[in-house]
Amino acid sequence: TRFNGSILLSTAEFSCRISSVGRRGVTIIDERGVETGARIAGRIYHETKPVTGDYAVAVKTADIPTVERILPRTGILQRTASSGRSTQIIAANVDMVLIVASIKHPVFSDGFVCRALAGASWKDLKAVIVLNKMDLYSPKDEELKNRIQATYDRERTGYPLFPVSCITGRGTDELLEHVRGMTVVMTGPSGAGKTSLVKYYNPSLDVRIGALNPKTCRGKHTTVAAQLIPLDKNTAVIDTPGLRMFSIDHIPRNDLQFCFPEFGDYLDECKFRDCLHLTEPGCAVKSAVENGAISKIRYRKYIDFMNEKKS
């Protein structure tokens, strides 16, 4: 036996990372960065179903390796599954979430961005907003751009915003510097350009990029499974399928207020200790919205999400 970091490995075992999960098996990346297909030992499915980003231990067997153990996870990104009945782990062992939206095509959605930010915050993950397709920006988009910048103002929310373009490369160096040394997971609506961004960073990648539906200007759900792509030895990005909605039904109603970082300073100042910042008198959050310290749009989304939740 030998130690690899803190994991005890027998001679036949090696440590690896799950880079994608398919119906029949998974792909793994070993410590030299080589990716291969692997099977999953049957009993693992009863313990921990593997997800993209998992660290694992595999054994070499005659044909392809077998994954025998999934190591404990840190930093998972979850959402409520489309059935609404269970939570789904989108990716494991991530340090940060990149919420990839576009200035247009498809149209920018505050609903998507605010839900995804709340979902990241719920799991204590850092998050950044990537505003893609800036090459399509024209002077008539100025109002929208200013509006987005004001709504997600880093000074208030703590979320950095990176305007980028996969066509001109604008902003991509700054974004890469920001994520270096981490595993980051991308989420966003279909067609926002998540796969285009990884392809920009790694042009030799064999991944599909899909044209938008010309009528709706939305994506066609080109990426169908989460895939981990190493960018350098210590940096990896997980590309995921575009979502119609980043559901946050799994966040308890009373906890949603803590998923809006800019509410933080005001939460203790409300008149009632159990204030949910809806219609209660003496609410410090509402006063902050009225005097402009908290964005009206962010607060409106909070109210919408609260109203959607059955208490």
Ligand X SMILES: Nc1nc2c(ncn2[C@@H]2O[C@H](COP(=O)(O)OP(=O)(O)OP(=O)(O)O)[C@@H](O)[C@H]2O)c(=O)[nH]1
Size of the site for Zn ion (CB under 5 A): 5
Could you tell me which of 56, 189, 60, 36 has the C-alpha nearest to residue 113?
189
- Residue 192 touches which member of ligand X, Zn ion, Mg ion, none, C-beta under 5-8 Å by kind: ligand X
The stretch among 50-58, 88-96, 208-216, 262-270 that binds ligand X (CB under 6 A) is 208-216
The stretch among 149-157, 181-189, 219-227, 286-294 that binds Mg ion (CB under 5 A) is 219-227
Residue with tokens 């962010």: 298
The stretch among 11-19, 40-48, 101-109, 275-283 that binds Zn ion (CB under 5 A) is 275-283
Q: How far, in Å, CA of 113 to CA of 121, rounded?
A: 12
The CB-of-242 to Zn ion minimum distance in angstroms stands at 35
Q: Report the DSSP pairing between strands 66-70 and 55-59.
A: antiparallel
- Residue 285 touches which member of Zn ion, Mg ion, ligand X, none, C-beta under 5-8 Å by kind: Zn ion
Binding to Zn ion (CB under 5 A): which residues in 285-304? 285
| CB-based burial, 127-152: b 16+ in 10 Å, e otherwise | bbbbbbbbeebeeeeeeebeebeebb
Out of 223, 227, 257, 295, the only residue in the binding site for Mg ion (CB under 5 A) is 223
The CB-of-298 to Zn ion minimum distance in angstroms stands at 15
Can residue 277 be called a binding residue for Zn ion (CB under 5 A)? Answer: yes
Can residue 195 be called a binding residue for Mg ion (CB under 5 A)? Answer: yes
Q: How far, in Å, CA of 281 to CA of 263, rounded?
A: 17
Residues facing residue 229 across a β-bridge: 237
The stretch among 31-39, 76-84, 133-141, 175-183 that binds ligand X (CB under 6 A) is 133-141
The stretch among 30-38, 81-89, 130-138, 246-254 that binds ligand X (CB under 6 A) is 130-138
Residues facing residue 162 across a β-bridge: 130
DSSP string for 8-28: EE-TTEEEEEEEEE-SS-EEE
Residue nearest to ligand X (CB): 242
Q: How far, in Å, CA of 249 to CA of 115, rounded?
A: 10
The stretch among 37-45, 93-101, 218-226, 281-289 that binds Mg ion (CB under 5 A) is 218-226
Q: How far, in Å, CA of 108 to CA of 69, rounded?
A: 41
The CB-of-271 to ligand X minimum distance in angstroms stands at 44
Q: How far, in Å, CA of 309 to CA of 297, rounded?
A: 19
Can residue 240 be called a binding residue for Mg ion (CB under 5 A)? Answer: no
By C-beta, is 195 or 257 nearer to ligand X?
A: 195
The CB-of-209 to Mg ion minimum distance in angstroms stands at 7
By C-beta, is 216 or 254 nearer to Zn ion?
A: 254
Out of 17, 133, 298, 301, the only residue in the binding site for ligand X (CB under 6 A) is 133
For residue 254, count other CB atoms closer than 10 A to its CB. 12
Q: What is the DSSP letter of 166?
A: T
Out of 53, 65, 219, 270, the only residue in the binding site for ligand X (CB under 6 A) is 219
Out of 103, 113, 148, 270, the only residue in the binding site for Zn ion (CB under 5 A) is 270
- Enclosing H/E stretch for 128: strand 126-132
Can residue 283 be called a binding residue for Zn ion (CB under 5 A)? Answer: yes
Residue with tokens 């609260």: 306
Contacts within 8 Å (CB) and 24+ apart, 145-150: 145/103, 147/297, 148/103, 148/108, 150/295
Distances in Å between the Cα of 243 and the Cα atoms of 76, 82, 186, 219 are 17, 10, 11, 10
The CB-of-17 to ligand X minimum distance in angstroms stands at 22
Site of interaction with Mg ion (CB under 5 A): 194-195, 222-223
